[in-house]
Chain A
Amino acid sequence: MATIATHLQDQTEAAGAAASARGKGTVDLRGLTKRFDGVVAVDHVDLTVPGGSYVVLLGPSGCGKTTLLRMLGGHATIDEGEFLLDGVRTNDVPPARRDISTVFQHYGLFPHKSVRDNVEFGLKMRGLPRDARRQRAEEALRFLDLTPMADRRPRQLSGGQQQRVALARALVTEPTVLLLDEPLGDLDRLLQLRMRIELRALQRRLRITFIHVTHNQEEALAIADQIVVMQDGRIQQVGRPQDVYRRPANLFTSGFMGDNNVFPGTVSAIADDEVWVEGDGLTLLARHDGAGVAAGQTLHASVRASSVSAEPALAGAANSALPERPNQILATLVFLEYLGDIVKLHCRLPNGQTVVAKRAENVRVWEDLVEGEPVRLEWEPHDVQLLLA
């Protein structure tokens, strides 16, 4: 698919022009709700997706992300709320007439039709005459490097190729929004990593809105312009990948993004741009303007694993000074997890909680550490995130 770049020049301009002529694919959701047998699957969701951006709906199974996607695609009904596409209310518009296409989780390719016929299908349904259909389908096939397999059946293709067929089929009708339901789920890891980049490149070239559903945090961080974290049918956080990762808004998000150490505690003092939190056996100092925080309030403080430094603990006297200093604690190294690029140090605190410190592999400090030996964990105040929810 490296050849995509060479085919895309004219395509890009045309697609970009077409997209802006029709509307940029801005999605507005206001109070969108869906219920199944009394269970609220999507709970009054408010969201604005700017046209031409790559948005990832991220969350565990059952959080409502797929249901939300299906509502956008017209494959599930909307119980309450408004769905506006470029300012036009699209709640009741049938999928055929929306400018939105869906790439389904297991692709849903028509097994009895060739790749070419699969791709042509949408155009056939729109009543395009045969020659025009053929030509546009050819373009889409070339776009996604599928020309050599145009006459094969889906079952003769590999997973990655099938996905490209699904993409071609969805894109041939030139939608302004492309919905992708766990598109990389069926692929093996290596292919997943490659296809991530391809999807991202594709979206950049087409300049249409991509809304992509996944439960894979890494995938979301890698591709999204905006991540929408969901749980229990509600949006937990919306933001750029770096924002969601570095500053998770609440307990769920910090846990879900992974590699976050969470400490429950009580606010003991609030100063200018500092908030002191008394935890279980340790004190945390956060850089925080104090907004929404009151003394005596119980909350959670989180510190990213990559912000935690770990050094062999010095014996004896130096340790006695420790309990008074914030953002430090003595722990025991329980498990050294070597992951190639990074090393994760799993340490157990006196109160039994496990704290994870993450280091780059080539920062050799960790080589001095031995499992079972005491370590000193430390971090900076600006790395302490207060979770209020």
Chain B
Amino acid sequence: MSSSSSRSVTLADGRAARTASVSRQRLATGSAWALLLALPTAWLLAFLIIPVVVVVVVSFFEPTLSGFNRVFTLDNYRLLAESDVFIRTLSNTVLNAVITTVVTFLLGFWVAYYLALVVPDLRRKFALFIIALAPFFTSFLIRAIAWIPMMGREGLLNTALLNLGITSQPLDFLLFSDFAVRVAMIQLYLLFMVSPIFFSLSTIEPAILEAARDSGAGWWAILTEILLPLARPGIVIGAVFVFVLSMGEFATVRLIGGGKTSSVGLGIQNFVTYIQFPQAAAAASILVLVTVAGVAVLFRYGRVAEGL
């Protein structure tokens, strides 16, 4: 009797001790995780959140010759709003972004379609995808340099057109123009549109397409009734991606536009060069605002279409 009761006490003690050690371990694990997570969180705060906040804050500061004073003013915004140049630049930037987004979609959808649905072999599919993806990793500055020998007055395209007799004079607008900038941007951002659509299309069960064929759907019907609706998430993501990146564009505009065109991003850079930080910040804030508005529109379109 006494032995069994002392044994039960030991068991209970053991269980309690084990529970205590488990919860201690859990606490240790919990605090270890908290520490681990703090690192990227702090980093993101420091290099993502705070910079954006700083920009917005500084946009309300008074500019000085060497920087800014912490005095609240709305002048920076007022000046931009009254500046024809800025309005034109902003419109041009938005226009470029919209054109780039639309064209990359029209061109890119078929690339994604080809990769996801026409290429039968999984191995070949990914191989081709990587081949298409590779240029994205290269420096786009490099790709921009190569634009000149291709599109310049003495460039490949012009020479070819002249030799073929299609034109009698070299086409000037192929380089250092809005057109050139847009083509370059399309080339840069095409993959950002193709990738999400490719992944969306790849997740479609083949049985769904077969069932559609079985029910009598032709190619067009499958495209409009099945593929486009199911690819919608990918399309929206791709569009948002391309739109945002295009809005922030400045290097392509500078190198390939050659001063003939401008973008808000370039404007910001110019402001910084002239140590006009608050103006730069104001321009950047406006850029962000317009970009966010555009993204909201895209998301709204994505959700509305979902209901259909």
Contact = CB atoms under 8 A, between A and B. Distances in A.
CB–CB under 8 A between A and B in the complex?
Answer: yes
Interface of A: 73-75, 94-97, 101-102, 104-112, 121-122, 125-126, 166, 169-170, 173
13 contacts: A74-B213, A96-B218, A97-B216, A101-B214, A104-B207, A106-B205, A107-B211, A108-B210, A111-B230, A121-B215, A121-B225, A122-B214, A173-B216
Nearest to B204: A111
A104 B230 CA distance: 19
B296 to A, nearest CB: 23
A104 B208 CA distance: 9
Nearest to A120: B215
A112 to B, nearest CB: 5
A74 B207 CA distance: 13
Interface in B210-258: 210-218, 221, 225-226, 229-230
Contacts of B221: 125
Contacts of B306: 112
A96 B208 contact: no
Contact of B214 (A109, A112, A126, A170): A170
Contact of A96 (B205, B213, B225, B226): B213
A105 B230 CA distance: 21
B201 to A, nearest CB: 14
A102 B216 CA distance: 12
Contacts of A102: 210-211, 214
A260 B215 CA distance: 43
Contacts of A166: 211
A199 B304 CA distance: 39
Nearest to B206: A108
A169 B205 contact: no
Given A95-B213, A121-B215, A125-B215, 14 more contacts: A73-B214, A75-B210, A75-B213, A96-B215, A97-B216, A102-B210, A106-B207, A108-B205, A110-B211, A110-B226, A112-B229, A112-B230, A121-B217, A125-B216
Contacts of B205: 106, 108
Contacts of B226: 110
Contact of A110 (B212, B213, B216, B218): B212
A96 B211 contact: no
Interface core residue of A96, A105, A170 (most chain B CB under 10 Å)? A96
Interface in B91-135: none
A73 B221 CA distance: 19
Interface residues on B, range: 10 to 19
Chain B facing A: main interface SS: helix
Interface core residue of B210, B211, B226 (most chain A CB under 10 Å)? B211
Interface of B: 205, 207-208, 210-218, 221, 225-226, 229-230, 306
Nearest to B209: A108
A85 B299 CA distance: 50
A104 B211 contact: yes
A169 B213 CA distance: 12
A107 B207 contact: yes
Nearest to A101: B214
B218 to A, nearest CB: 7
Contacts of B211: 102, 104, 107-110, 166, 169
A109 B208 contact: yes
A173 B215 contact: yes
A75 B230 CA distance: 22
A161 B191 CA distance: 41
Contacts of B212: 110, 121
A371 B207 CA distance: 50
Nearest to B226: A110
Contacts of B225: 110, 121
Contact of B215 (A105, A107, A122): A122
A170 B226 CA distance: 17
B285 to A, nearest CB: 38
A105 B214 contact: no
Contacts of A109: 208, 211
B208 A110 contact: yes
A122 B225 CA distance: 12
Contacts of B218: 96, 125
A157 to B, nearest CB: 16
Contacts of A96: 213-218
Nearest to A172: B215
B200 to A, nearest CB: 12
Contacts of B215: 96, 101, 121-122, 125, 169, 173
Contacts of A111: 208, 230
A107 B208 CA distance: 8
Given A73-B214, A95-B213, A96-B216, A108 B230 contact: no
Contact of A104 (B210, B216, B217, B229): B210
B216 A126 contact: yes
A97 to B, nearest CB: 8
Nearest to A121: B215
Contact of A75 (B208, B214, B217, B229): B214
Nearest to B205: A108
A74 B211 CA distance: 11
Nearest to B229: A112
B213 A108 contact: no
A76 to B, nearest CB: 10
B207 A105 contact: yes
A173 B212 CA distance: 13
Nearest to B215: A122
A320 B217 CA distance: 75
